[in-house]
Structure formats: structure tokens, C-alpha cells
Amino acid sequence: EVQYKASSLFLDEGATKDQFISRSNLISHETAHMWFGDLVTMKWFNDVWMKEVFANFMADKVTEKLMGTSTFDLKFLQDHYPAAYGIDRTRGANPIRQQLDNLQEAGSMYGNIIYHKAPIMMRQLEQLMGEENFQNGIREYLNSYAYGNATWNDLISILNKFSSTDLLAWNRVWVNQPGRPVFQYKIIYNGNKIKQFRITQQAESGDDRVWPQAFKVKAFYSNTSKEVTVNMKGKSVDMDQFIGMEKPEFILFNSDGKGYGIFPFQQISLDSIIKRGNALERASAYINAYENVLSENSLTPLALLSLYSKGLMVEENEMNLRLLTGYISNLYWTFLSKNERDKYNPLLEAQLWEAMEKQVLPNHKKVLFTGYQNVYLSQAATANIHKIWKSKSAPSGVKLTEDDFTAMALSLALRTDTVNSVLQ
Ligand SMILES: [Zn+2]
């Protein structure tokens, strides 16, 4: 039996495209449970995540068709990777699959790893096996365990028969253990031509593990580019497709955003990708830059903040604007010292305001106005926000709701010297 909330199923005339997509997603998710959950049920509660991940995986297939692959890929990247990395980069990260001895602790298993790393793992699993092998494996699994119970390991042993990769080893690293790999590369040139291009991976934690996975690498030239799929099954892979090619201007690793881990990053290439990459490539580069800064590989938080601010000026994608303003506010409040913050603040306020004025679409303007409200500190900016709040007149082209004005009052109240005038 499936029960739906009427308002998400019976949409009114003014329903947006997003609402139609959510409705299809919801129906697909619940329908998928007839196979994953009902026809085959988990053996014990440590595998409850399995049916949810499968239902989301199937629903995503429908969403991808409705949204178009490029929008879907961008949304998938932004929905899942930063949240999964947020846990997986820490020492206390949990694996996707955990032991559950006491049912009372079932609730503690649910978190960003199950909600966000598991979907990434599923997509990599399908890529690794190939769509057809994956489908055949799932069919055999459903037939073998119909009207019965099965564990995740039962599924993996069946899929393993359809895979050319050792899925048991794959499963140990991706599902039974936490963590992620760090990728490095080395190019040897012969004159101006590539003689060897090797990518290697190692565990961020330093132990001896590899994450078999596929992702793309794109080399940019002055007016062309070459993108190649990397099928990384072991510690290293030679990118023979690039042999003999000229030295590129810059290289974007994980250009399709499907790879999981920390990829090589150069300050100069982020600058160029902001100008030359598509929306998915830019998002992948923004996310990877942030992970590099946090793992202290190269850039300082302040340097990344200024790169992101430049991105604001040219970024044309709403999802990417949200990602950037989120990262900016995070770097600004969490990673800058008070001195750095005070020093950088006037420029950042000015950049956010200028970017907001430059954007044409109301939604884009609003994302940037919210970004401005998240970081403002100066007296001039405080007076500016106070005036907008008091007169209830939004900046030109920005639509503000009653809730937005309430949030503005809160942000003003948090700036001490205005607290009295707002609360009066
Ligand atoms: Zn469900």
C-alpha cells in the first residue's frame, strides 16, 4: 500500500516544472519499492538503506529523462558530492554499510553517507559494470530472492557474476569502509608533445586501498579540447589517448563530475575553467577546489575566496551561483581570521552587490542578494540593508517575500550596533 500527500500529487494550475518533476520522482520512488522492499525485503535492519537507495536510483532514471541529462548531472553533483565529502573527509566517517547489533540504534545509521555517498556508489557501480550487465544482474537478484529476504552481500555476489571487475574487492572499499582517494598525475613531454600521461590514486587516510571508478579528463587547447574517459581499476592508469598530443593550456580532472575523491587542482586552471568550462565542469571545479583547500594541498582559503568571487561575476547558472555563494560564506566565516575577514570584507561586499546588479534574471539576483546578506559587515552595508528593510523596498529586480524581510531583520539584529533600532 502506498499513501501519498494530496498536495504533492494533485498539483494546481500554477505548478512549476520542478513540482512536476518532484511528483514523477515521488511516484517512481514508491513504485520501485514494489520490487525493492516488497518483492525482496532486507534480511535485517542494517540493510534498510538498500531499498531506499534503489528506489532513489530508479526514480533518478525518470528525473534524468524529464530534466535532460546535463541538468540532471549538475543537480546530482551538487546534491550529493559536497554532502558526502563533508563526512567522508573526516576521521570519524562511517562506511555505507554498518553492523547493527541493536535495533534501537537503527536511527543512528542514517546520515549523509547513506543519503549522499550511497547514490554516488550506485552510479559508479552501474558505470563500472555497464548498463546491460547491471540490469541483468538486478533481474537475477530479484528472481532469486522474490518473496524472500536478501542482504546487500547477496546482491553483490550475484552482480559479481556479471562484472569484469572483482566486485567483492570493490565492495570492501566502497561500501564496507569509509574514506576516499586522492588522485595525482604526471605528464612526461617529448618537446611539446605528450609522451606519457599517468594518473594514480591513493587513500586519503594513507592505507593501501584503491577505489575502482570511472570519470572523465578534459584537456583544453586555445580553441579546442579533448575529453577522455578514465577507467581506473587499480592504483594507476596510463592515458594513452593523449600520447602525441600537444601540451594543453590546462587540464580539468573529473570534468563529468562523476568521480569521487580529491582530484589534482591548479589555481590557474580554475581561473580558466570559470571562463571556458560548461556549467557541469565549472561546478566540478568549484567543488574540487574547495576539497583541495580543506585538505591543505595548495591554495589558502583567502585565495580560493577571491577566485570564487571572480566566478560570481561571470557565472550564469543558478545552481552554480548557489554553490558559490554557499562556499564563499563558509570560507569567509569559518576559515578566515578576524583580521583577514575585516580586510577582505569591503571588496567582497562590493563584488556581491556588483554581481547582483549585473545579473538579469530575478532568481539569480536574489541568490546574490542573499549572498550579500550572509557576509556584510561594514557600516555602509549595514545602513544599506537597514534602509531596504525599513522601507520594504528591494534592490531593483529582486523579489522579496515577507519571510525574506524577517530574515533581514534577524541579520540586522545580529550586527550589534543596529540591534536596538531593529528591536524597537
Ligand atoms: Zn522509500
51 alpha carbon to ligand 1 midpoint, in Å? 7
182 alpha carbon to ligand 1 midpoint, in Å? 33
Least confident of 40-44, 64-68, 108-112: 108-112
1 alpha carbon to ligand 1 midpoint, in Å? 12
CA 202 – CA 199 distance, rounded (Å): 11
423 alpha carbon to ligand 1 midpoint, in Å? 45
pLDDT range class, residue 417, cuts 50, 70, 90: low
| Residue 229 buriedness (CB in 10 A; 0-12 / 13-18 / 19+) | middle
Q: In the predicted model, is pLDDT for residue 43 greater than 70? A: yes
23 alpha carbon to ligand 1 midpoint, in Å? 14
374 alpha carbon to ligand 1 midpoint, in Å? 35
402 alpha carbon to ligand 1 midpoint, in Å? 34
Q: In the predicted model, is pLDDT for residue 34 greater than 60? A: yes
Mean pLDDT of 314-343: 94
Residue 308: the pLDDT is 95
CA 380 – CA 382 distance, rounded (Å): 5
Q: In the predicted model, is pLDDT for residue 420 greater than 60? A: no
CA 48 – CA 342 distance, rounded (Å): 48
Q: Are 389 and 405 in contact (CB under 8 A)?
A: yes
Q: Are 292 and 156 in contact (CB under 8 A)?
A: no
CA 225 – CA 248 distance, rounded (Å): 8
40 alpha carbon to ligand 1 midpoint, in Å? 14
pLDDT range class, residue 419, cuts 50, 70, 90: low
**pLDDT for 331-361, tens place per residue?**
999 999 999 999 999 999 999 999 999 999 9
Q: In the predicted model, is pLDDT for residue 422 greater than 70? A: no
What is the Rg, in whole angstroms, of the alpha carbon atoms belonging to the chain?
Answer: 24
In this structure, which residues have their CB less than 5 angstroms from ion ligand 1? 52, 55
CA 330 – CA 301 distance, rounded (Å): 10
Q: Which residues of 25-44 are buried (b: 16+ CB within 10 A; e: fewer)?
A: bbbbbeebbebbbeebbbbe
Mean pLDDT of 244-270: 93
127 alpha carbon to ligand 1 midpoint, in Å? 23
130 alpha carbon to ligand 1 midpoint, in Å? 25
pLDDT range class, residue 132, cuts 50, 70, 90: very high
Mean pLDDT of 298-317: 91
